[in-house]
Amino acid sequence: MSEVHDELWMSLKAYEGRATAVGRAGKDPVNEPMIRHWCEALGDTNPAYSGADAIAPPTMLQAWTMGGLSGHTGRSQAYDDLLTRLDEAGCTSVVATDCEQEYLRPLRPGDEITFDAVIESVSDRKTTKLGTGYFVTTRMDVRVGPDLVGTHRFRILKYAPLRKTPTAPTAPKAPRPRPVINRDNAGFWEGVDRHRLLIQRCTGCSTLRFPWLPGCNACGGLDWDTAEASGEGTVYSYVVVHHPPFPAFAESAHAADVAGPYAVGLIELAEGVRMISNVVGVPYDKVRIGLPVRLEFRRHEDPGGSFVLPVFRVHGGEV
């Protein structure tokens, strides 16, 4: 990291050591319902957290200090001011990176906590995978009466998110690659254009085949006709492509600005052959083997002329 400190950093550095909370009271006493909700959410069945002599899960420490939706009244300005300065400098995004908690004694239902918090440090400007920004570390001391019961050190990165060049909100939807049509598969794509999914059938041995090929894999016969698929099928297998991002394939209402992951399905048609296609109507992470799907045709507009692609929609939409 360079030794050159920008002017912003100098002003941020001035916040080090400033209190962000002094003797502030928790909104609720430590209580059984909040403990139970926490344990339910996290699947924590530790018997120490219920019953007559219950303690609160120690990792709930910060939860007792949170302002929630209504926030804290009489909030100290220092932290807000610091965050506002960073916002103004373009560091509008925030992510928590570190949490270090020390527990001096367990909290029990009925304990009423108070806490003090201080801005411990502001880092140099750092460039991370998320963007460029500053790490801000705060330390909180939690007390019951005069007794220190725990400390909580918390680090956030306040950063300017990287601009994703191909996915600016105004960018047009990335064009879908056109199918490659040749003499062997031309009949298939002519069918798709007319919203018919045609499977090749060997006239010698009646074996169905897909994708389209010059000859029969079963008997070697070169003559064929076609059978139209009913359009019913199931997901035989699938993969989810996370990287590299490919906006043209993203199956999302925001496909223009989200080059997120997408699912590639291997669909087994009711007729028995399998084909690779998109599974639509569910998020990529809800695609599962065995999902029933139904054929649908989508027209894609393209500078080179529109074209149609077959896709498969999950029955009933949401799963």
Partner 1 sequence: MGSVRTGDRLPPLEIEITRTLIVAGAIASRDYQDVHHDAELARRNGSPDIFMNILTTNGLVGRYITDHFGPTAVLRKVAIRLGTPNYPGDTMVLTGTVEEFDGDTATVRVVGDNGIGRHVTGTVTVTVPMQGAR
- Is 159 or 210 the residue whose CB approaches partner 1 more closely? 159
Q: What x/- string results for residues 218 through 247 when contact with partner 1 is judged by CB under 8 A?
A: ------------------------x-----
267 scored as a contact of partner 1 (CB under 8 A): no
Q: Number of residues interacting with partner 1: please give it, by CB under 8 A.
A: 45
Piece of the chain touching partner 1 by CB under 8 A; list 34-42, 184-192, 297-305, 309-317 = 34-42
Residue type, 27: K
48 scored as a contact of partner 1 (CB under 8 A): yes
Piece of the chain touching partner 1 by CB under 8 A; list 93-101, 109-117, 139-147, 185-193 = 93-101
- Is 88 or 285 the residue whose CB approaches partner 1 more closely? 285
Among 133, 191, 231, 260, binds partner 1 (CB under 8 A): 260
121 scored as a contact of partner 1 (CB under 8 A): no
Among 162, 171, 222, 239, binds partner 1 (CB under 8 A): 162
Segment 49 to 68, residues that bind partner 1, using CB under 8 A: 57-60, 62-63, 66-68
Residue in this structure with the two tokens 């074996």, named with its chain if needed: 207
37 scored as a contact of partner 1 (CB under 8 A): yes
CA dihedral 75, 77, 81, 82 (to 10 degrees): -80
- List contacts with partner 1 (CB under 8 A): 34, 37-38, 40-44, 46-48, 57-60, 62-63, 66-69, 93, 95-103, 106, 161-162, 164, 242, 254, 257-258, 260-261, 283-286
